[in-house]
Amino acid sequence: MLVGGHVSPAGGLPKALERGIERGCDAIQIFNQSPRAWRAHQHAAKDVEEFRSGLAEGPIKVVVIHAVYLINCASKEPEVRAKSVAALVHALRTGDAIGAHGVVLHPGSAVGEPLDEALERVGEAVLHALAESDSCPLLLENTAGAGGTLGRSFAELADLLDRAGGDPRVGVCLDCCHMLASGLDIRTPAGLTEVIDDFDRQVGLDRLGCLHVNDSVTPLGSNRDRHANLPDGELGREGLAAFLSEPRFEGLPALLEVPGPDGKGVDAAQIAMAKELRRQGLVRRG
């Protein structure tokens, strides 16, 4: 497992690698542009070259891009849909350029529209974005929360994969905070085993490309997406240790998106905590 976290690329892509190394990351996640703005950011060619070289030679082995929060490929509103699809295409092309392991995407929200129609619009958007990019994988993240949010269940994720034509470039990112908030009890090794068995049946472990590691402020089945620092939330030490030591997750990037002690994001202490919880989980598993 490649334990790491979300870091800022402010000042240029190579700065993201530097921040990841400072925090002791094995993998990093970045936004390819401002997460709350539509304007696409074009990275300088020299930054891309330096970044790829650093990734090939340095301690950080994997980079994942998180697509911007504004994207809602399920939207029926023409302007939102057009901007969403364009932003997704741009993220995948950036992933192609920098050699990203994948682009993580929130599937979107039905916003009061019929579920089947919303899912179909997401599938169409994904197919278009794949056709407009080269090889970077797209990883649909399981979600939490109410209000028509898509991708809360494994069945919906499997449905979205089908609507994307089963393309091998499309996979899944599992977030443990979102899993708990959506009612999946992964607080013990036995509970996690049962949930991942179900994921394998409905989606397939071959589709799992990335993990988000976040404790949860809110309890099981709360339908509220609020990340907590490790191990201060509802998952706690046992749940996080189980998640981080799950044998079927071996080799995957496991990325923290926690607020950090100063509210400004993951720091070295949180990365070290995740690695220690993983070690504890591995010891318990024998």
Chain segment 11-48, per-residue pLDDT in tens: 999 999 999 999 999 999 999 999 889 999 999 999 99
Residue extents of the structural domains in the chain:
2-285
**Using CA atoms, how far apart are residues 47 and 52, in angstroms rounded to an integer?**
9
Identify which has the larger pLDDT, 216 or 112: 216
- pLDDT at 147 > cutoff 80: no
Q: What is the pLDDT of residue 261?
A: 87
**Using CA atoms, how far apart are residues 82 and 51, in angstroms rounded to an integer?**
30
**Residue 231: is the preceding peptide bond cis (ω within 30°)?**
yes
Q: What is the pLDDT of residue 286?
A: 81
120-134: per-residue pLDDT in tens? 999 999 999 999 999
- Tell me which residue has tokens 């650093």: 54
171-216: per-residue pLDDT in tens? 999 999 999 999 999 999 999 999 999 999 999 999 999 999 999 9
Confidence (pTM)? 0.97
- pLDDT at 264 > cutoff 90: no
In the chain, % of residues over pLDDT 90:
94
259, exposed or middle or buried, with CB in 10 Å at 0-12, 13-18, 19+?
middle
Q: pLDDT tier at 262 (50, 70, 90 boundaries)? A: confident
* CA quadruple 56, 60, 98, 138: dihedral, nearest 10: 130
b/e map of 110-141 (b: 16 or more CB within 10 Å)? Answer: beeeeeeebbebbbebbeebbeebeebbbbbb
What CATH number has the domain spanning 2-285? 3.20.20.150
How many CA atoms, within 13 angstroms, populate the side-chain half-sphere of residue 93? Answer: 16
- pLDDT at 164 > cutoff 80: yes
Q: What is the CA radius of gyration of the chain?
A: 18
43-66: per-residue pLDDT in tens? 999 999 999 999 999 899 999 999
Q: pLDDT tier at 77 (50, 70, 90 boundaries)? A: very high
Q: What is the pLDDT of residue 129?
A: 98
Q: What 3-state DSSP class applies to 4?
A: strand
* Average per-residue pLDDT for the chain: 96
**Using CA atoms, how far apart are residues 280 and 212, in angstroms rounded to an integer?**
19
**Residue 285 burial (CB count, 10 A):** 12
- Tell me which residue has tokens 């010891």: 283
In the chain, % of residues over pLDDT 70:
100
Q: How far is CA 127 from CA 122, 165, 167, in A?
A: 9, 8, 9
Q: What is the pLDDT of residue 107?
A: 96
**Using CA atoms, how far apart are residues 74 and 110, in angstroms rounded to an integer?**
6
